[in-house]
Structure 1
């Protein structure tokens, strides 16, 4: 909600309270003021000028040379390029030396040989968004009404010297979606009276009931509907002060009748709608639920197909408005309108919400109906609007209001004791102080001993229970004034849980390894929801998705990381290393919440090392990705329990993918993305991994042990074993480790050969074996004995032969 400080002063005396001070007080009372803006800050030297003469520039087709009276004696010459500038206009002029928004300084200059002593300004050049400017002035300069004084401050006339407070309202505080609601709140904070608008206008001898009848078929959705008739209106611009207030609140001015309905919406929080009576097509209003598939063309010229749960205003035959959302183009107020039918109604919040959501059409009116309006302002707002139409559109208000009213609204009555208020807040507030707070809120208060019986006005629909009253007392008493107390009893020092500590270790290691953390959507499309999943289950569709692209919960993080890589590659960022720790969601049954598993995923592509000076470049390969997660497992203390084995994963390269196994159970995979998937996503060679982290985090880590630095030398033996190509090197390594006994301390693979000197179907794998005893120097006989056991084991279990 955008609140004009100057407008607010009409309802509450703000003497001595600056806009920023008021913003601070409102924020401290529970409604956050997100900012205070003054569009004219730093702007100066802008006055009203009168264009005395306007002629074509002799040397430019699109420029005009104007003689402008600035109220300072002799007129000045200004060159202007606006297409709508003309003789006799009163315009905003930035004089020579003036400063415009963006610290743009106006200087005397020559344009195509003609002297120019200032600039005739458009609203946009003065800091008003072009989308908010009246349509006739959206592209050119703004023209003031003829009654403004030449030489007066143009910024003040355009309300740009005002300050606008932006309120960040929570859904329960819909009462502050109006100037009167903010006035009540401000009055309560400052302890000031609220001055309500005076509603008084003449009525014609003709009766509104002779012109229109109202019938409501859907009374649950529309318990109160009122209609007033205003004849002989003259459509034209609304007063300048009204236009500027609307623009300050983010609403574009249209004409006097439409602007008045929008003005009342801001003032009272009550949406209104004005129909062109002559275009209505009948003398009756029928409010009903739409027929399934029924169509209406709304004011934005869009044809909309209605559902059976949408509420419509009809002329008895066809819809003329989507109730509470937007009017129909067939009854729009135009420049030819002479008789206005004014609607003011109370609509069911959920009904309006359904229509607004279904059509993606959120208007100022629907936003207020959805959150709830004050039913006691429906009639007041209509009368106030009729008063303004009589005053500013020359209208004649017909006697009476035609209505259907089945609405029964009683103010909430809640009782509470002083003892309960103080016990909840930990305070010692007196009975008189509590009563004064409710009086400032303009709630009805009856005090019986220490019990307060509060009658809550209907404008505050959020107050229904005792806790609501306690909150009102607390915020107006002042949250800063509530006493500070320390908890009693034994205190437990805070700290990270084991899983939190391991999670932080994981992030720290990966970032140290050169990966950047990514945070991607948990929502995805049906097609991507199951790609690269560790565990295949039916995907889960949201009941109310934002879009089809974000309608399913993911089963894998990898597809989202590949989207990020593709996005970066398309912008010439070709070396990417990303990781994400996040949740995937596995379906259980239709009536239960899904299982939520914490996964770690990564994606690496491009160059892993790039040292131009040394001429060294190392592209990412399988062993880079595998090395990163091997280092992570080492850091987490689970590397001794991890093994890798060849795997086939959908979407992954069939020959460059390994399953990650922890204590015999698969927990993830690492490998290259399938070439076809890379092509579809326009990726270069990309390697990914995904791991279910719960087994890793839950795995017991043995206590840290230190070994003394060896005092005795180690003996190394290198062997090259010829095995079948289908034999995995990891299997052979495991056989060697099991057979080597306690003297074998380390086994590493350092070569693989499958060249022309190897017989078909065979390959050579070279291992380096390190033997050592920390207590003594080994003899050759002891090493040979252990080494022979290794050779016998690999021959027996893997069919390996020593390469000659």
Structure 2
């Protein structure tokens, strides 16, 4: 909620309280103020000017030479390129020497040979967002529609000398989604009075009930609907003060009638809607549920198909508005509108939320109805709007409100004792202080002994139980005044869980290996959501995505890491190594929450520094990833349970990719990105890995047993095996370890040969085997016998031959 400090002063005396001081007090009382924006910051020397002459620039087709009176004696010449500048306009002028936002200084200059002594400004050039500027001025300079004095301070006229407080409201504080609600809050904090708007207007003798009737067919969704008729309105711009207040609150001005409905929305928190009565199509308003398949074109000129769960306003035949969300285009107020049918109603939050979500429409009105509006303001808001339409649109207000009312208003009555207030807060607040706090909040309170019985105004729908009253006392008494106490109880030592320890160990190892941590989006596109997924599921689709690029929950961390690599390499950072420990989301079926699982992934491209102190660099390859992961498995105590198997995975290089197994179960993969996929991401040689974290962190491996440093020497034997090219070293290593017996302590691959003198379809893999006994020195005969079993096993199980 954006709150104008100057506007707030109309309802509460803010003397001796600056905007920043007020923001601090509001924050301390429980509503966080995100910031205070000074609208005129950086502005100086901005005045009202009148264009006395406007002719074509002799040297430029798109420039005009203007003679402008700025109230300082002789008119000045200003060159202007705006297409809408014309003689007789009163405009915003930045004089020579003026300063615009961004410390942009206006100087005397020559443009195409003609002198220019200032600048005729658009609202955007004064720091106002383009989306808030009235449409007729979005592509040109701003022209005053009110009668303003030449030479007057334009900053003040445009309300740019105001300050705006941005309130970050929690869902329960719907009462502060309007200026009167903020005024009540401010008055309670400062212990001052609230000045409510005075509603005084003359109604014609003609009665509104002769023009319209109201019927509610869904009273549970719409217990109260009121209609007011205003005739003979003249559509035009709203007064300048109203336009500037709307813009400071983040709403674009349209015309006097629409602006008044938006102004009341901000002032009272009560959404209104103005229908063109002559385009309404009948003299009856019927509120009902829509029929399945029924259609309406809303104010954004989008045709929408309705369902029976949605509440609509109809003319007895067809829908003319989505109740509480948006009006229909057919009954829109236009320049030729003369009679207004003004709606002010109380809609329940549930049907409004349902309609808003279904159509992806989030309006100022729906936001307030969803959180709850004050039913006591439905009628006063309509009367106040009619008053303003009579004053600023020249309308004749017909007598009376036409309504259908099924609403029973019963303010909440809540009791709390003084003892409980002090016990919960740990204070010694007196009875009189508590009574005064409820009085400042303008709550009706009855005191019997130490019991307070409070009748809560309908504007404060968030107060329903005694704890709510205790909170009100605490925040107005002052959170900083509450006594400080140390917690009591048995102390327990803190520490990381086993999972947390392993997660931290993993992070430290990956960072120690040279990878940088990345944190990427959990949302991705439909195409990328299924890439590289270890477990294949239909991706979870968001009901209301921000965009198609962020419409699905990811099944793998890798696509986002590839985007990060691509982003870096496009900016000349060509050697990048990233990792992420994050969640993927597995679809559990319609109507069920997805299962969230933790994964570990890495992506590397460019050069890899093997020994920084030696300056050795090489292109990153599969063995870099394999080495990092083997170090991780060893750190986690899982190295003896891991198997690597060659694999073909979509998007990965078919000959340089391996699946990883832990105790026989697949937990991930590592390998090189397929050249075609590399091209799609605009990358060069790229290596990836992804693992499921849960099996790694949860695996119960045998207890560690420490052995003394060997006292007796080991004996090494090398063996070179000729095998089929399809045989991988990991399978051979497993066979050797099983056949080697208790004396075989270590097996390492040290050579791969596929050159000349090697039979077709064959390759040679050489292993170094280490034999040892901790109790004694082995004899050559014992080692030879154990080694013979190894040779026999690889010959029988792998078809290997000893290389001569």
How high is the TM-score relative to the length of structure 1?
A: 0.92
Helix, strand or coil: the match of 1:721? Answer: strand
**Residues 566-645 of structure 1: pairs in structure 2 closer than 5 A:** 575-585=575-585, 595-609=595-609, 618-645=618-645
Helix, strand or coil: the match of 1:720? Answer: strand
**Residues 355-370 of structure 1: pairs in structure 2 closer than 5 A:** 355-370=355-370
Alpha-carbon contact 2:416-2:452 (below 8 Å) kept: yes
Helix, strand or coil: the match of 1:345? Answer: strand
1:310 CA drift (Å):
2.0
The 1:342–1:539 alpha-carbon spacing in structure 2 relative to 1, beyond 3 Å, is: closer
User: 2:399 — aligned with what?
Assistant: 399
**Greater CA deviation, 673-682 or 693-702?**
673-682
**Residues 499-518 of structure 1: pairs in structure 2 closer than 5 A:** 499-518=499-518
Cα displacement string for residues 232-290 of structure 1 (whole angstroms, at most 9, x for unaligned residues): 22222111111110111111111111111111111000111111222222222222222
User: 2:494 — aligned with what?
Assistant: 494
**Residues 449-464 of structure 1: pairs in structure 2 closer than 5 A:** 449-464=449-464
User: 2:192 — aligned with what?
Assistant: 192
Q: What CA distance in whole angstroms lies between the structure 2 residues aligned with 1:766 and 1:523?
A: 47
Q: What CA distance in whole angstroms lies between the structure 2 residues aligned with 1:689 and 1:730?
A: 18
User: 2:667 — aligned with what?
Assistant: 667
Q: What CA distance in whole angstroms lies between the structure 2 residues aligned with 1:32 and 1:693?
A: 39
Alpha-carbon contact 2:28-2:479 (below 8 Å) kept: yes
1:97 CA drift (Å):
0.9
User: 1:36 — aligned with what?
Assistant: 36
User: 1:321 — aligned with what?
Assistant: 321
The 1:666–1:258 alpha-carbon spacing in structure 2 relative to 1, beyond 3 Å, is: closer
User: 1:246 — aligned with what?
Assistant: 246
The 1:541–1:95 alpha-carbon spacing in structure 2 relative to 1, beyond 3 Å, is: closer
Helix, strand or coil: the match of 2:366? Answer: helix
Q: What CA distance in whole angstroms lies between the structure 1 residues aligned with 2:119 and 2:445?
A: 59
Alpha-carbon contact 2:146-2:240 (below 8 Å) kept: no
Q: What CA distance in whole angstroms lies between the structure 1 residues aligned with 2:154 and 2:547?
A: 46
Cα displacement string for residues 409-453 of structure 1 (whole angstroms, at most 9, x for unaligned residues): 210111111122222222222222211111111111111111111
1:477 CA drift (Å):
1.5
1:727 CA drift (Å):
4.2
User: 2:768 — aligned with what?
Assistant: 768
Q: What CA distance in whole angstroms lies between the structure 2 residues aligned with 1:374 and 1:523?
A: 38
1:686 CA drift (Å):
4.2
Q: What CA distance in whole angstroms lies between the structure 2 residues aligned with 1:636 and 1:312?
A: 62
1:701 CA drift (Å):
7.3
Q: Kindly indicate whether residue 91 of structure 2 is the aligned counterpart of residue 70 of structure 1.
A: no
1:560 CA drift (Å):
4.8
1:99 CA drift (Å):
0.6
Cα displacement string for residues 459-488 of structure 1 (whole angstroms, at most 9, x for unaligned residues): 111111122112211211222122221111
Alpha-carbon contact 2:555-2:586 (below 8 Å) kept: yes
Q: What CA distance in whole angstroms lies between the structure 2 residues aligned with 1:347 and 1:72?
A: 55
Alpha-carbon contact 1:5-1:163 (below 8 Å) kept: yes
Q: What CA distance in whole angstroms lies between the structure 1 residues aligned with 2:588 and 2:87?
A: 76
Alpha-carbon contact 1:227-1:401 (below 8 Å) kept: yes
**Residues 160-239 of structure 1: pairs in structure 2 closer than 5 A:** 160-239=160-239
User: 2:331 — aligned with what?
Assistant: 331
Q: Kindly indicate whether residue 117 of structure 2 is the aligned counterpart of residue 117 of structure 1.
A: yes
User: 2:6 — aligned with what?
Assistant: 6
Alpha-carbon contact 2:145-2:237 (below 8 Å) kept: no
Alpha-carbon contact 2:278-2:339 (below 8 Å) kept: yes
The 1:99–1:421 alpha-carbon spacing in structure 2 relative to 1, beyond 3 Å, is: same
User: 1:721 — aligned with what?
Assistant: 721
Cα displacement string for residues 540-598 of structure 1 (whole angstroms, at most 9, x for unaligned residues): 66777777776665554445545655666777766543322233455678787665443
**Greater CA deviation, 96-105 or 572-581?**
572-581
Cα displacement string for residues 519-548 of structure 1 (whole angstroms, at most 9, x for unaligned residues): 344456777666544445676667777777
RMSD: 3.2
1:302 CA drift (Å):
2.0
Alpha-carbon contact 2:36-2:165 (below 8 Å) kept: yes
Cα displacement string for residues 151-178 of structure 1 (whole angstroms, at most 9, x for unaligned residues): 2211000000000011111111111110
1:802 CA drift (Å):
3.0
Cα displacement string for residues 123-161 of structure 1 (whole angstroms, at most 9, x for unaligned residues): 111111122112222222212245322222110000000
User: 1:148 — aligned with what?
Assistant: 148
1:292 CA drift (Å):
1.9
Q: What CA distance in whole angstroms lies between the structure 1 residues aligned with 2:465 and 2:564?
A: 49
Q: What CA distance in whole angstroms lies between the structure 1 residues aligned with 2:595 and 2:359?
A: 33
The 1:789–1:332 alpha-carbon spacing in structure 2 relative to 1, beyond 3 Å, is: closer
1:511 CA drift (Å):
2.1
Cα displacement string for residues 698-734 of structure 1 (whole angstroms, at most 9, x for unaligned residues): 33475595865x8887654433223344544234334
User: 2:302 — aligned with what?
Assistant: 302
Alpha-carbon contact 1:42-1:101 (below 8 Å) kept: yes
Q: What CA distance in whole angstroms lies between the structure 1 residues aligned with 2:524 and 2:122?
A: 45
Q: What CA distance in whole angstroms lies between the structure 1 residues aligned with 2:42 and 2:132?
A: 21
Q: What CA distance in whole angstroms lies between the structure 2 residues aligned with 1:263 and 1:463?
A: 27
Q: What CA distance in whole angstroms lies between the structure 2 residues aligned with 1:225 and 1:745?
A: 86
The number of residue pairs the alignment matches comes to: 803
Alpha-carbon contact 1:637-1:701 (below 8 Å) kept: no
The 1:547–1:73 alpha-carbon spacing in structure 2 relative to 1, beyond 3 Å, is: closer
Q: What CA distance in whole angstroms lies between the structure 1 residues aligned with 2:485 and 2:188?
A: 28
**Greater CA deviation, 313-322 or 553-562?**
553-562
Alpha-carbon contact 1:208-1:228 (below 8 Å) kept: yes
Alpha-carbon contact 2:360-2:544 (below 8 Å) kept: no
1:649 CA drift (Å):
5.2
Cα displacement string for residues 186-212 of structure 1 (whole angstroms, at most 9, x for unaligned residues): 111111111100011111111111121
1:304 CA drift (Å):
2.0
Helix, strand or coil: the match of 1:259? Answer: helix
User: 2:434 — aligned with what?
Assistant: 434
The 1:640–1:212 alpha-carbon spacing in structure 2 relative to 1, beyond 3 Å, is: same
Q: What CA distance in whole angstroms lies between the structure 1 residues aligned with 2:685 and 2:227?
A: 69
Q: What CA distance in whole angstroms lies between the structure 1 residues aligned with 2:582 and 2:506?
A: 13
Helix, strand or coil: the match of 2:94? Answer: strand
Q: What CA distance in whole angstroms lies between the structure 2 residues aligned with 1:338 and 1:593?
A: 53
Helix, strand or coil: the match of 2:132? Answer: coil
The 1:780–1:313 alpha-carbon spacing in structure 2 relative to 1, beyond 3 Å, is: closer
Helix, strand or coil: the match of 2:414? Answer: strand
Helix, strand or coil: the match of 1:205? Answer: strand
**Greater CA deviation, 430-439 or 653-662?**
653-662
User: 1:157 — aligned with what?
Assistant: 157
Q: What CA distance in whole angstroms lies between the structure 2 residues aligned with 1:569 and 1:120?
A: 45
Helix, strand or coil: the match of 2:68? Answer: strand
Q: What CA distance in whole angstroms lies between the structure 2 residues aligned with 1:666 and 1:611?
A: 32
**Greater CA deviation, 585-594 or 366-375?**
585-594
**Greater CA deviation, 260-269 or 506-515?**
506-515
Helix, strand or coil: the match of 2:236? Answer: coil
1:350 CA drift (Å):
1.3
Q: What CA distance in whole angstroms lies between the structure 2 residues aligned with 1:291 and 1:136?
A: 38
User: 1:469 — aligned with what?
Assistant: 469
Alpha-carbon contact 1:638-1:701 (below 8 Å) kept: no
How high is the TM-score relative to the length of structure 2?
A: 0.92
User: 1:697 — aligned with what?
Assistant: 697
Cα displacement string for residues 728-775 of structure 1 (whole angstroms, at most 9, x for unaligned residues): 423433444455566655432111123341234543211223456789
User: 1:341 — aligned with what?
Assistant: 341
The 1:129–1:677 alpha-carbon spacing in structure 2 relative to 1, beyond 3 Å, is: closer
